[in-house]
Copies of this chain bind each other. A is one copy, B any other.
Amino acid sequence: MFANLPEPPYYSVIFSSQRSDKDADGYGHMGERMLELAATQPGYLGVESARGEDGFGITVSYWESLESIAAWKAQAEHRVAQEQGKREWYADYRLRIARVEMTYGMTEITAEVVSPSDA
């Protein structure tokens, strides 16, 4: 369930969403398809996802660059899924794109980046 990621920096897409009560089967099927498809995209690094019984979920996908995120957003089959998501599957969502700069595991710092812009 945990993504195995390289050392930072890289980018994350933090997608938080509230499911509507519509079309659970179609949503589940498309979700699996999008995870498969994302994994084939250039710059894809990994994904982690959780959704509670209340229908609120967070999926974080990880990418090499902003360019790879933009290409995934524009991917044709993914665009269709995004539109169907807006129409049917989500009551609401937020999407935040963030540059990963430090990572920790359960016991220690595993990687840290200090770029010129942070100094």
A contacts, CB < 8 Å to B? 1-3, 5, 8, 11-12, 14, 16, 18, 48-54, 56-58, 60, 66, 86, 90, 92-107, 115-118
Interface of A is mostly: strand
* Contact B117–A116 (Cβ < 8 Å): yes
Closest chain B CB from A45 CB (angstroms): 11
Considering the chains assembled together, what is the distance between the CA atoms of A100 and B96 in angstroms? 6
From B8, B52, B93, B95, contact of A52 by CB (8 A): B52
Which residues does chain B contribute within 8 Å of A3, judged by CB atoms? 94
Considering the chains assembled together, what is the distance between the CA atoms of A102 and B11 in angstroms? 11
* Contact B101–A16 (Cβ < 8 Å): no
* Contact A58–B58 (Cβ < 8 Å): yes
* Contact B92–A2 (Cβ < 8 Å): yes
Considering the chains assembled together, what is the distance between the CA atoms of A33 and B96 in angstroms? 26
24 interchain pairs (CB within 8 A)? A2-B16, A2-B92, A5-B96, A8-B96, A11-B98, A12-B12, A12-B14, A12-B98, A48-B56, A51-B52, A66-B101, A66-B118, A90-B106, A93-B105, A94-B103, A94-B104, A94-B105, A95-B103, A95-B104, A97-B101, A97-B103, A98-B100, A99-B99, A117-B117
